[in-house]
Structure 1
Amino acid sequence: MTGYLDRLAELLREAHGLPPDHVAATVADLVAYLAQAGGADPQDAFGPVDAFARRLAPCGASAADEHLETWRWLADTYADEHLLNRFGDEGWEVERVDPLGRFVSHRDPERPRRWEYRRELISGGGERLDERLVRDGWEPCGSWVVYAWFKREKAVGAGPAPAPPEPPPVPRRPTFPGRRRCCVLMGGALVLVAAVVVAASTGTGFGVGLAVGLPAGALVPPVTAWAVRGRRR
């Protein structure tokens, strides 16, 4: 594994001119992905290293691109399309979706361009979908499980669009949970609290056990997620 990833990092830096911090972040993501896959062999998972390096490198990347701003961020399906278009209007172009489901984006702070995005559900006719969208100027920019994302420069769809005069700074937030998901989680928490109160008020052994067991069981998913997230970092 180490030899493959070392060679990949070398190709991304020297052959494709990617900045060292970009290369390091990419390799870290791939290490996490391989670990989640049970220590899969990178040659089997990603194919020949030369071809994989070409796939990972942004189109036309060179050493001159070191001034580009880069940003990786994550949003759920309740909010991603809205946020993609919001950030695309600020000049962020999505290169790909990484193995962790994050949008890998870059922006030229000196000459930002406006982008628009759309999300499509991948089905058996995925190739026909690509062909139909390409005719309208859309190009694929990543996929994750059952979704595919497409981008196009705003000038393609609505005529020349002025560039943002002063792009806002790179956002600090790496994740953007949707409001709907937050409401679902809050509703579930309220139901859990009500169940605990009712169970405790019965005064029986069963009720006390339920009052203790419900909160303990509810802690398992978030603690597990926290542990997994810590390993990914």
Structure 2
Amino acid sequence: MSDYFDELAALLRDRGVPAERVASTIEELAGHVAESGADPEEEFGPVAAFADSLGGDTGAAGDDGTAGDGRAASAGESWSWTADIFADERRLNEFGEQGWEVDRVDRRGMFVSHRDSERPQRWEYRRETVWPEGRSAVTERLAPDGWEPCGTWFLYEYFKRPGAASVGPAAEIGSPPPAPGGRLFFSARFLLILVAFVLLTVVAGWVVVGFIGSAGSGDDGAGFAAGVAVGVAVVGGAAAALWSLARRDR
């Protein structure tokens, strides 16, 4: 793995990419490969061709300072964004309809995307839950329908295909809308879970503090026992609600 990135760094320097940008690009790409477990050459292609796509005037980093695909700067707009697991697939297809193509998912969970400025076209996306050892099997199963992997986040594998695969020439966009203004797209369900998690933490802390206070004061513990019972009921109910919501991730 290190040989690939050492050669890539040397090729980028030969192409005039500033040393600081080379370092940040290599760090980002190496982090991505370390998290995904992919082989660098399988993930990015032959090192010389990949260096060509990243080097020169196109720049080697996205607009958020992370390493990009290289096509973003040269072919049009670039944009990085993220969404929670309840909204990601819907948002991917929403932005895909606007011409945004995801190049990869970076180590922060951001969808690093670009849109062709000359001939933007629609993109379609889907998400699959896979274990690392089953990733290649899922990729092979979806490939005949035009799906190709475009990012990995824990056990989630994201796939894309050009809209032309399903709608033909109608996939080309005449006048794409402006780039969305935000970068974070969280659903109401995710925010509800976040609030519930905070409440669970507060209740758990309250139970612990009550236990310490009761033990220190020599209290008979009756009041504390009642508090624990209430706390357990609240935590149990909230945990059940969280589990129910988390299971409905589609």
User: Scaled by the length of structure 2, what TM-score is found?
Assistant: 0.57
The change in CA–CA distance for 1:8 and 1:120 in structure 2 (over 3 A counts) is: farther
Amino acid at match of 2:188: R
Note the alpha carbon deviations across 1:50-87, whole angstroms, 9 max, x for none.
9456457769x996962511111222222111111000
Distance 1:145 1:27, change over 3 A: farther
Deviation of 1:189 after TM superposition, in Å, equals 3.5
The equivalent of 1:121 in structure 2 is: 129
What displacement does 1:192 show? 5.6
Deviation at 1:3, TM superposition (A): 7.3
Tell me by how many angstroms 1:106 deviates.
0.8
Does residue 1:168 correspond to 2:177, yes or no?
Answer: yes
Letter in 1 for 2:193: V
Q: How does 1:27-176 map onto structure 2 within 5 Å?
A: 28=24, 30-31=26-27, 51-52=46-47, 54-55=49-50, 66-123=74-131, 124-176=133-185
Query: Structure 2 vs 1, CA of residues 133 and 50 (structure 1 numbering), >3 Å: closer, same or farther?
Result: closer
1:177, CA displacement in angstroms?
A: 2.6
Q: Does 1:7 align with 2:2?
A: no
Report the CA distance between 1:143 and its aligned residue.
Answer: 1.8
Question: For the structure 1 residues 154 and 28, does the alpha-carbon distance in structure 2 shift closer, same or farther, using more than 3 Å as the test?
Answer: same
Secondary structure class of the residue paired with 1:131: helix
**Alignment length (residue pairs):** 192
> What amino acid maps onto 1:147 in structure 2?
Y
Residue 191 of structure 1 and its aligned partner are, at CA, apart by 5.2
Q: CA deviation at 1:181?
A: 1.8
- Whether the 8 Å contact between 2:87 and 2:186 is mirrored in structure 1 is yes
CA contact (8 A) 1:29 1:100 kept: no
Post-superposition Cα deviations, 1:140-171, rounded to whole Å, max 9, x if no partner, equal 21222212111111121234325333222222
3-state SS, counterpart of residue 125 of structure 1: helix
Q: Is the 8 A contact 2:32 2:107 kept in 1?
A: no
Q: Supply the distance in 2 between the matched residues of 1:99 and 1:197 (Cα, whole angstroms).
A: 35
Shift of 1:119: 0.7
Return the index of the structure with the highest Cα Rg: 2
| CA distance in structure 2 between the partners assigned to 1:152 and 1:35 by the alignment | 25
Counterpart among 181, 197, 215 of residue 188 in structure 1: 197
Contact 1:33-1:100 within 8 A present in 2 as well: no
- Distance between the aligned counterparts of 1:82 and 1:170, measured in 2? 17
For the aligned residues, what is the CA RMSD?
4.4
**1:92 offset after TM fit, Å?**
0.4
Distance 2:214 2:29 in 1: 46
Unaligned runs of 5+ in 2: 59-70, 217-250
Q: Partner residue of 1:179?
A: 188
Distance in 1, Cα, partners of 2:97 & 2:134: 30
After superposition, the C-alpha distances for 1:107-161 in whole angstroms (9 at most, x for unaligned) are 0133210010001112343323222211111112122221211111112123432
Secondary structure of the 1:148 match is strand
Contact kept in structure 2, 1:91 and 1:108, CA below 8 Å: yes
Cα drift, residue 35 of structure 1: 8.4
SS of the residue corresponding to residue 160 of structure 1 reads helix
CA contact (8 A) 2:79 2:112 kept: yes
User: In 2 relative to 1, CA 53–187 (structure 1 residues): closer, same or farther, beyond 3 Å?
Assistant: farther
d(CA) in 2 for partners of 1:99, 1:54: 23
